[in-house]
Amino acid sequence: MKVTAHEISITQRYLWRSAREAIPVQRALIVEVKHDGVSGFGEASAFMTDHYNSGLTRMHADLRRLAPVLRELVPDDPFAVWKTLAAQLPRSPFLLAALDTAVHDLRARLLGVPLWQALGLSAPTGARSSFSIGLDSTEVMVVKLRERLGWSAYKVKLADPGDLSVLAELRRHTDAPFYVDGNCGWRLADTLAALDGMRDMGVALIEQPFPRDAWRDAEVLKKASPMPVLADESITSIADLDACTTAFHGINVKPMKAGGTTPALELLRTARERGLITMLGCMPESSAGLTATAHLASLADHLDVDSVVLNAVDTGHGLGVDEAGRVTLPDRPGSGYLPDPHERGWQVRPVTAEEIRPLRHRVLRAGEPAENAHYPYDDDPGARHLAALDAGRLTGACSLLPEDPPAERPVPGLAPGTGRRLRGMAVLDEARGTGLGGALLRTALTHAVLDGATAVWGTARAQAAGFFGRHGFRTVGDAFERPGLGPHLLMYWSPE
């Protein structure tokens, strides 16, 4: 299989807050897996990065490390692929999930059937999602609800279980049930005291009130609560299911957190066998990941896949969620997700050389003839061109060209014929210092390694050497002068 990765940046219509955090921007990777000219897609959010080893730098490094393994895999049996990758990514569930979901998506597309059918599930007809209302002032929370009247249920984030005034104000505008989410931030005594009030306000279930390891408190609440209590952060894999069966009435399964479609299926099926309530949920994610999740809806009693409605931007076209929360899937094979390069959620994505030459010329060859922004190997089938985007606007670019360094400046560790030359690394002045240059470079390095490169090299202006050095580049030989361009260094990077 051929694997590539693309960076995205998702903003929501309102600043997303829970009892644990506020998220102004959610960055993520979209993983694309290709075989026989067909692509499948998965997504890994850079969310709770320390807990899930999901920082962008870490996930890029893991993809590079796995490159030899990925090249040998085939999508015929996604469950076998998951076992192989799970052994390599034991503590990185988000990246594992992106790869696993992409492989399942790819196999279904190759078969020409929807993902739910390839998984042996029933069609998720009639599915409706709850609508999530993040923490904010009561006035703003009411505005959020009023903008989405008519949904079948509302998931309300509460920092304090006793803050019934928020629920009372929301209740003035809807008769729909509330799912109240504590996001690990509540205390047992406060929760027990608020149970009757929450029941009177139409709370239909409580989700993850206490920290993940507060099993004894959860058991006490389960016995006392007049409404079901569901685990979220307490259920991360099948290994947690015994404890959750004792301490909760049900579980919220999020495929990204579980490690992909494969373990999510096992969790949902096993939970139902045990008589547990099942909810199918999502992390902050775009249509790329969420559309695949919705194909599992026939296994869930409750559905919470409203991220595409909460997002202000997206990466393509996938599941639909209408004004009443009704979920529809695309009439296309696999998950049905279709990437759209014009969507504003992309931060680094592949482009053609023609698309980025004007920026090359503006930043690197200003005042010179336009043809100087054309490079040898630009149109080679092995060339890769990447754009950095800010809300859809081209702000940076670079190219990876299939070219070894000159013989007089050998790069350590380079196997002949496997070099990639980094050229045309350019970022607009107004975008410098925003992190876009770093996103562009780390994505380029990952593309190179997944393509089979054993080294990436290029000639860098002397004043840019510090930037490349911070990203692991080293120099070969002394500085040299390029006529009209000033002193340069030949620099290289090798996979560790």
Q: If you average pLDDT over residues 450-472, what whole number do you get?
A: 93
At position 117, the amino acid (one-letter code) is Q
Q: Where are the domains of the chain?
A: 2-116, 131-338, 346-493
Query: What does the pLDDT look like over 403-415, one tens digit per residue?
Result: 999 988 899 989 9
Task: Report how far residue 10's alpha carbon sits from residue 26's, in angstroms, rounded to the nearest whole number.
Answer: 5
- The pLDDT tens digits for 167-226 are 999 999 999 999 999 999 999 999 999 999 999 999 999 999 999 999 999 999 999 999
What percentage of the chain exceeds 70 in pLDDT? 99
Written as six digits, the tokens of 455 are: 């080294």
CATH superfamily of 346-493: Gcn5-related N-acetyltransferase (GNAT) (3.40.630.30)
**Residue indicated by tokens 């547990």:** 276
Q: Which residues pair with 149 in a beta bridge?
A: none
Distance of CA 98 to the CA centre of its chain: 7
Interatomic CA distance for residues 450 and 34, integer angstroms: 12
Check whether 384 has a pLDDT greater than 80. yes
CATH superfamily of 2-116: Enolase-like, N-terminal domain (3.30.390.10)
Picking from 284, 208, 210, 266, the residue whose alpha carbon sits closest to that of residue 54 is: 284
Model pLDDT for residues 322-367, shown as the tens digit of each residue: 999 999 999 999 999 999 999 999 999 999 999 999 999 999 888 8
Strands (E), 257-375: 277-280, 302-303, 316-317, 320-321, 327-328, 338-339, 346-351
pLDDT the model gives residue 144: 95
Q: How far apart are CA 301 and CA 296, in angstroms?
A: 11
pLDDT at 463: 86
What would the mean pLDDT of 297-323 be, rounded to a whole number? 95
Helix (H) or strand (E) holding 203: strand 203-207
**Comparing C-alpha atoms, which of 474, 395, 402, 481 is closest to residue 438?**
395
Contact 405, 416 (CB under 8 A): no
Residue 257: C-alpha distances to residues 29, 49, 191, 320 (Å): 15, 12, 26, 23
Q: Residue 442 pLDDT > 70, yes or no?
A: yes
In this structure, what are the phi and psi dihedrals at residue 276, rounded to the nearest 5 degrees? -80, 150
pLDDT above 70 for 12? yes
Partners of 179 in beta bridges: 155, 205
Place of tokens 């593309």: 447
Distance of CA 180 to the CA centre of its chain: 25
Burial class (CB in 10 A: 0-12, 13-18, 19+), 429: exposed
Residue 450 has pLDDT above 90, yes or no: yes
Please give the mean pLDDT across all residues of the chain.
95
Judge whether residue 16 has pLDDT over 80. Answer: no
pLDDT at 19: 60
Q: Report the pLDDT value the prediction gives residue 366, as an integer from 0 to 100.
A: 87
Give me the pLDDT at residue 25, please: 86
Q: What is the mean pLDDT of residues 126-137?
A: 94
Cα(307)–Cα(488) distance, rounded to whole angstroms?
Answer: 47
Token duo for residue 262 = 């494969």
Banded pLDDT at 15 (limits 50, 70, 90): confident
| Tokens (6 digits) for 197 | 């009030």
Instruction: Report the topology of domain 131-338.
Output: TIM Barrel (3.20.20)
Give the DSSP H or E segment for 138: helix 138-147
CA 292 to chain CA centroid, Å, is: 12
Give the type of residue at 88. Answer: Q
* H/E stretch holding 121: none
pLDDT given for residue 41 in this prediction: 98
Contact 31, 41 (CB under 8 A): yes
Over residues 61-99, the pLDDT tens digits come to: 999 999 999 999 999 999 999 999 999 999 999 999 999
Question: What pLDDT, in 10s, does the model give residues 17-59?
Answer: 766 666 788 999 999 999 999 999 999 999 988 989 999 999 9
